[in-house]
C-alpha cells in the first residue's frame, strides 16, 4: 500500500501541514553557529518576502514529499518491523535525499529568481539540515500514520 494511503489525507491535511510547519520552525530555531545563522536569516527572509510562505510551500509540496518517500515506505512494508517513523529515522540520509529531490526539481522549474538563488546558496548545507530534521519527521509520521 502506498504511503499516501496510510496518511489521513485529505481529512487531516491542515493538521499535518501545521505539524510540518511546527517541525520546520523548531529545526530552524535549533540551528547554531555560522551555518545556523545563515539558515535563520534565510528563513526570516523567506517569511518577510511572503508571510505564510512556509505553510503554503509545505502544503504545495506535501503530496510530492509523500510520493518521494514511497520507495522507502515500500521497503518498510517489506521488512514489517517497527514503525514507519522509526524506519524513516533509521534511514534519515536516504529520506533527506528523497525530500531534497523534490525541492531541487521545484527550484529548477521556479520563476521566483530571488528564492531560487537563496535556495541554491543554501543547498550544499541542506542535506545535513534535512537529515537532522528527519527524526522529527519520523515522529510526525508516527502521529498520523494509519497501519
Question: Which mean pLDDT values do the consecutive 10-residue runs of the chain (147 residues) have?
Answer: 92 96 95 88 86 92 96 94 93 96 93 88 85 94 90
At residue 88, the pLDDT reads 95
At residue 43, the pLDDT reads 86
Alpha carbon distance 106, 100 (integer Å) = 10
At residue 38, the pLDDT reads 82
At residue 3, the pLDDT reads 92
At residue 35, the pLDDT reads 82
Domain coordinates of the chain in residue numbers? 3-144
Per-position b or e across 66-89, b if 16+ CB within 10 A of its CB:
bebbeebbeebeeeeeeebbbbbb
Cell numbers 539540515 correspond to 129
At residue 132, the pLDDT reads 94
Alpha carbon distance 86, 109 (integer Å) = 33
pTM of this structure: 0.86
Per-position b or e across 34-63, b if 16+ CB within 10 A of its CB:
eeeeebeebbeebeeeeeeebeebbbebbe
At residue 80, the pLDDT reads 82
Contact 44, 31 (CB under 8 A): no
At residue 119, the pLDDT reads 83
Cell numbers 527524526 correspond to 135
At residue 39, the pLDDT reads 82
Amino acid at each position: 500500500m502506498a504511503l499516501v494511503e496510510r496518511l489521513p489525507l485529505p481529512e487531516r491535511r491542515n493538521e499535518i501541514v501545521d505539524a510540518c510547519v511546527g517541525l520546520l520552525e523548531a529545526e530552524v530555531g535549533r540551528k547554531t553557529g555560522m551555518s545556523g545563522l545563515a539558515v535563520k536569516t534565510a528563513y526570516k527572509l523567506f517569511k518577510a518576502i511572503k508571510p505564510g510562505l512556509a505553510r503554503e510551500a509545505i502544503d504545495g509540496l506535501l503530496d510530492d514529499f509523500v510520493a518521494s518517500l514511497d520507495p522507502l515506505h515500500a521497503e518498510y512494508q517489506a521488512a514489517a518491523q517497527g514503525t514507519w517513523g522509526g524506519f524513516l529515522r533509521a534511514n534519515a540520509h536516504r529520506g533527506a535525499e528523497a525530500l531534497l529531490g523534490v525541492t531541487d526539481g521545484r527550484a529548477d522549474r521556479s520563476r521566483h529568481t530571488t528564492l531560487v538563488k537563496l535556495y541554491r546558496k543554501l543547498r550544499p548545507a541542506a542535506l545535513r539540515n534535512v537529515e537532522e530534521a528527519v527524526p522529527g519527521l519520523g515522529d510526525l509520521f508516527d502521529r498520523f500514520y494509519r497501519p
